[in-house]
């Protein structure tokens, strides 16, 4: 069955919303909402692979309070496969800081991106709506200074 333009537009909007929600929930530490963006068996492949909402939520709960991040997303391209599947690519510019300054709300004087890359996504329609079936991160540029553990920084 061929989808009409309105159906394609709705699916694209839902998938783009997932991508934006991913960045906002992660950066604002809303980890339960973050994990719910994935299907029950959804995969997050970012520096390792996590499968399922429970595993994703547990891993996010381990993120240090000394980590402050902002995921800036651009160039989102969603291709609708059918009424229940879509794929996509979204570019990422990542700003992050690890250290005690993250514990207070004042701005941190660090403006260099930690990394630039892209997410490759598979989306699926579930009983709870559109969710990530898989989200995989690939870096094109990475400044390792921003990925050190707090105890590694002098």
pLDDT per residue as tens digits for the range 103-131: 999 999 877 999 999 999 999 999 999 99
Looking at the chain, how many residues does it have? Answer: 154
The pTM score is 0.91
H-helix or E-strand spanning residue 110: none
User: What CATH number belongs to 5-152?
Assistant: 3.10.450.50
DSSP 3-state assignment of 151? helix
């Amino acid at each position: 069955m061929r989808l009409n333009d309105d159906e394609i537009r709705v699916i694209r909007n839902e998938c783009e919303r997932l991508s934006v929600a991913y960045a906002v929930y992660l950066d604002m530490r809303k980890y339960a909402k973050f994990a719910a963006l994935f299907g029950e068996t959804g995969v997050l492949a970012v520096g390792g692979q996590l499968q399922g909402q429970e595993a994703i939520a547990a891993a996010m709960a381990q993120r240090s309070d000394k980590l402050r991040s902002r995921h800036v997303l651009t160039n989102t391209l969603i291709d609708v496969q059918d009424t229940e599947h879509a794929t996509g690519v979204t570019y990422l510019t990542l700003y992050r800081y690890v250290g005690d300054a993250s514990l207070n709300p004042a701005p941190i004087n660090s403006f260099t991106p930690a990394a630039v890359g892209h997410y490759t996504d598979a989306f699926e329609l579930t009983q709870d709506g559109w969710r990530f079936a898989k989200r995989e991160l690939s870096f094109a540029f990475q400044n390792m200074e921003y990925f050190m553990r707090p105890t590694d920084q002098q």
